[in-house]
Structure 1
Amino acid sequence: MSDTTKKLRIDKWLWAARFYKTRSLALHAIENGRVLMDGVRVKPAKTIATGDHIVLHFGQAKFDIEVLALSDKRGPAPVAHQLYRESDESAARRALMAEQHRMQPEIAVFKYRPTKKDRREIEKFRNGE
């Protein structure tokens, strides 16, 4: 981890904190407005410091995090997790969404193209026969 007085680009920090697999993915997320810092949309070259508040949107999931330390080197996940702290509300909201997703019924997916017999059975099922 780097010195706490040092400033760092937000795209590099998001990559080092393992939110994105590559810096270019972090860059695209920032450019598409999925990353907010202190409630404001930022540019990839925006410098961050310890204590900054960042909101990340991943589809339906939303991370509310506080920057605890800076690092421009990507390390193992336990080390990367020490760079930030997720708010309790954010963690609870994501856990609730994961539980709701898990409880949704699974959609049937065919692994092959239905045969003529399969299509007849599907039609019978749809018609309630």
Structure 2
Amino acid sequence: MNEVRIDKWMWATRIFKTRSIAADACKKGRVMIGGVNVKPSRMIKVGDIIQVRKPPVTFSFKVLDLTENRMGAKLVPQFMENVTTPDQYEILEMNRISGFVNRAKGLGRPTKKDRRELEQFTGADFYEGGDDFDFDFDFDSDDED
């Protein structure tokens, strides 16, 4: 086997969970060889360096061997070498430390952490529903004169 499709190889080496996700990444311009975006059908060979952009980081992998069959995680180092530069890992670490959630405002449901922060901000007793209101009238009375 001298060449194999890039989407098959990325799926087989567990970079992506499914082959269709790998193909979509290629179509969206997130996979590059030598700084050039590639199609899912692009054939790769031993020695190629593949760059995969998974925001905010661009990972780089050197092809050591070719395969079309998915493998266990323990076998992956025989087929690829991670050559990602340290500065990319610094970006990843900074994002993890900052606690930044990469979610556009208004999209998706709040996380459990978001809910806890909101409750802490407003005060938990706000939700308790106690008789803290200072009104001169009673909501339950039906006397409407």
Normalised by the length of structure 2, the TM-score is 0.67
Look up the SS of the partner of 1:109 in the other structure: helix
Alignment coverage as a number of residue pairs: 112
Q: Given the alignment of the two structures, is residue 100 of structure 1 paired with residue 94 of structure 2, yes or no? A: yes
Q: Distance in 2 between matches of 1:27 and 1:97?
A: 26
In structure 2, what is the equivalent of residue 84 of structure 1? 80
Partner of 2:67: 71
Aligned to 2:24: 28
State the Cα distance separating 1:102 from its structure 2 match: 3.0
1:63-110 CA distance string (max 9 Å, x none): 1221110011111112123211122xx252343123212321578511
Residue from 109, 112, 121 that aligns with 2:114? 109
Q: Per-residue deviation at 1:39?
A: 1.6
Answering whether residue 65 of structure 2 is matched by residue 56 of structure 1, we say no
Structure 1 position 33, deviation (Å): 0.2
Amino acid at match of 2:29: G
- The alignment status of 1:46 with 2:42, answered yes or no, reads yes
Ranges in structure 1 where 5+ consecutive residues have no aligned partner = 119-129
Q: Secondary structure at the match of 1:51?
A: coil
Aligned-residue CA RMSD (Å)? 2.5
Moved over 6 A (4+): 112-116
Q: Which has the larger radius of gyration?
A: 2
Give 5+ residue unaligned stretches, structure 2.
102-112, 128-145
| Aligned CA distance change for structure 1 residues 57 and 106 (closer, same or farther; 3 Å) | closer
Q: State the partner residue of 2:13.
A: 17
